[in-house]
Amino acid sequence: MNNRWNRIVYKIWSPFYDKLFNSGPFLSTRKKLFQENTFDRTQNILFVGVGTGADLEQINYADLNITAIDYSPEMIERARKKFRESSIQFKEMDALNMSFDNNQFDIIIGSLILSVVPDADKCFKEMIRVLKQGGEIILFNKFSPKGKEPSPFKKVIRPIIKLLGTDIGLNFESLHERHKEILSVTEDSPLMYKGMYRKIVIRKIYT
């Protein structure tokens, strides 16, 4: 995957995204993802890879200080239209190279983003960089099972699936290992498809 290819892929996906990933089990999971999280107007909140705004529909966004970014102009435009009456700041931006200051946000939400960017580690580093000390990253993503190598079949089809815009072999533990001295995992819960999709909450303990 690379950014140019992703832009093409998600231009194609954008008209169908909500029908596939904001309905059925995905919609139920998005609701569950945020039911225990309450945000307030004192927090600076960032949605990375906001897509069509599916997550925003599950929170009480009125009066919150929310910035939402996505690399796909088609996806972010659909989100803008949904929330045209809100104060949400929508920005077309590369998650691998955010234009925000260090330590700017209290909460960062990344739903289904790490497995679709060309470089998950670089995206994760950027999230950590713009997160304040004591702040939280809330991830909803598919990851390979803990402590298990992908099956031979998955290894074969992984490059093909990547061409469709997603990675089926991303390992969260490897991502976290490189940053474990400054991050603390406070929640790791299975959400969908026998734990393939997980909710992971991470606190930044040092800058």
Domain range for 156 is: 3-204
pLDDT of 20 reads: 82
Contacts of 184 (CB under 8 A, 6+ apart): 202, 203, 205
Distance (Å, whole) CA 109 – CA 191: 16
Distance (Å, whole) CA 125 – CA 140: 17
Section 120-132 average pLDDT: 97
Burial of residue 20 (CB within 10 Å: 0-12, 13-18, 19+) is exposed
Band (pLDDT 50/70/90 cuts) for residue 93 is very high
Distance (Å, whole) CA 73 – CA 80: 10
pLDDT of 5 reads: 67
Distance (Å, whole) CA 52 – CA 56: 9
pLDDT of 14 reads: 79
pLDDT of 77 reads: 95
CATH of the domain at 198: 3.40.50.150
Task: Provide the mean pLDDT of the chain.
Answer: 90
Total structural domains in the chain? 1
